[in-house]
Amino acid sequence: MKNTTKYLLFCLILTVSGTGYLRAKVMDKIVAKVNGEPIMSSEYAKNKTTVIEQYKRAMPGFFNQENALKELSKKVLDQMIDDILLKQKAKTMKIKVYARELDKGIDEIKKRFSFNAKGEILSGEMAEKAFENELNKENLTLSGFREKIRGQIMVRKLIDQTIRPKVKTPSEMEIRTFFNKINYIVKGDSSTLKNLPEEQQQDMLAVALKFKELTAERLRVKHIFVKIEENASFLEKNKSLKKARDIKKKLDKDEDFEDLAKIHSDDKESALTGGDLGYIFKGLLPEELEIKAFSMQVGEISKPIKTKFGYHIIKVDERKAKQKLKFNKIQNELGQLLSAQNFKEDLLEFVDKLRTTAKIKLFIDEKK
């Protein structure tokens, strides 16, 4: 299964498996066996929840697809099977994990417990207690936790010894061909995506979007947002409009935009930074806001603009002109992206070979 989703899952599960984090205890049962080694429902549930949360943050559009949740659940279980196969392979190759490596890995995880929910630094004793509490929640002993971390380190060493040294370094011609394809997409020509697998199309689009952000005309925008509730009455809508107009009157009297955003904006996240939305380019904002923003001068403040969400008062702080995408400026970065793609393909091919000789039994419907 050579695709980006599977590789992303591999990275995520290596991060979350065995770290001692479990949101809730569930009644354990075996969901699969890999060469006789069981996968328990508690671990499966934990990994699925964590990966879903990661996807919601990193790839929210993924869940717009039909049966996205079922597909992701299946992929999580598939990846847990692959993870076990890699650990089993590392054991057959007698890959050693030295005490200092294990201690270092555990110390890295323990550092995550050095801060409380408010970001305050905890004393060494309190941090150790927090770590022990997490182990207890998962019903893990310290020795059991060490074995989980040992397995993860073994897999990483297996990859470093067996796969990474064989990864092909892309040639300049390959990098330039990749650049040309990306440049076409940045300019709005998606013909280079035709006949490519869907996952590869998504890869290309993600890279193109990144470089489009860096080269497109950009505005640094602040806004003050007055929300209109979804089922608001006519009277409530008028109150929102009046509030927005009152704020604009204060701005017309030279009251500070950032101060008013912190006090009045219903976008609480941007309000913390005085309404700052950062740099935006065309296609990111609702059409009503975008048309107005790109017609404004630096320093100009708009009247209240209505969208389906409410009223926005925007201010343009900075404008950056459109730039040409130049090969020599991004050659190294594109080379790294292609190298990562080659590594991903080699890794997934290695795992697929392990599957061909493995005895895998499923005790649940993977799609659930």
User: Token pair 């692959």 is at which residue?
Assistant: 82
Could you tell me if 22 and 162 lie in one domain? yes
Does residue 139 sit in the same domain as residue 194? no
- For every one of its 368 residues, what pLDDT tens digit does the chain have, with 9 covering 90 and above? 444 444 444 554 444 444 443 343 445 799 999 999 999 998 898 888 888 888 777 666 777 777 888 888 898 999 999 999 999 999 999 999 999 999 998 888 888 888 776 667 878 888 888 888 888 877 778 888 899 899 999 999 999 999 999 999 999 999 999 999 988 888 888 888 887 777 778 788 888 888 887 888 889 999 999 999 988 999 999 999 999 999 999 999 999 999 999 999 999 989 999 999 999 888 888 899 999 999 999 999 999 999 999 999 999 999 998 888 899 989 999 999 999 989 989 999 999 999 999 999 999 765 45
* pLDDT for 119: 67
Amino acid at 14: L
CA distance 315 to 223: 6
CATH number at residue 257: 3.10.50.40
Query: Hey, CA dihedral for 219, 224, 227, 228, is it positive or negative?
Result: negative
Q: Are 303 and 221 in contact (CB under 8 A)?
A: no
CA Rg, the chain, in Å?
Answer: 26
CA-nearest of 17, 19, 25 to 48 is 17
> Do 250 and 313 form a contact (C-beta atoms < 8 A)?
no
So what's the pLDDT on residue 280?
Answer: 87
Residues 108, 145 within the same domain: yes
Cα separation, 224 vs 10, in Å, equals: 41
In a domain, 74, yes or no: yes
Residues 177 and 244 in one domain: no
Q: Is the pTM of this model over 0.75?
A: no
One domain, residues 251 and 358: no
Q: In terms of domains, do 115 and 93 share one?
A: yes
Q: Are residues 138 and 67 in the same domain?
A: yes
Q: 3-state SS of the chain?
A: CCCHHHHHHHHHHHHHCCCCCCCCCCCCCEEEEECCEEEEHHHHHHHHHHHHHHHHHHCHHHHHCCCHHHHHHHHHHHHHHHHHHHHHHHHHCCCCCCHHHHHHHHHHHHHHHCECCCCCECCHHHHHHHHHHHHHHCCCCHHHHHHHHHHHHHHHHHHHHHCHHHCCCCCHHHHHHHHHHHHHHHCCCCHHHCCCCHHHHHHHHHHHHHHHHHHCCEEEEEEEEEECCCCCCHHHHHHHHHHHHHHHHHHHCCCCHHHHHHHHCCCHHHHCCCCEEEEECCCCCCHHHHHHHCCCCCCCECCCEECCCEEEEEEEEEEECCCCCCHHHHHHHHHHHHHHHHHHHHHHHHHHHHHHCCCEEECCCCCC
Nearest to 22 by CA among 7, 4, 43: 43
| C-alpha–C-alpha distance, residues 121 and 214, integer Å | 36
Q: Would you say residue 368 lies in a domain?
A: no
Does 367 map to a domain? no
Domain range for 264 is: 218-320
Indicate the number of domains in the chain.
3
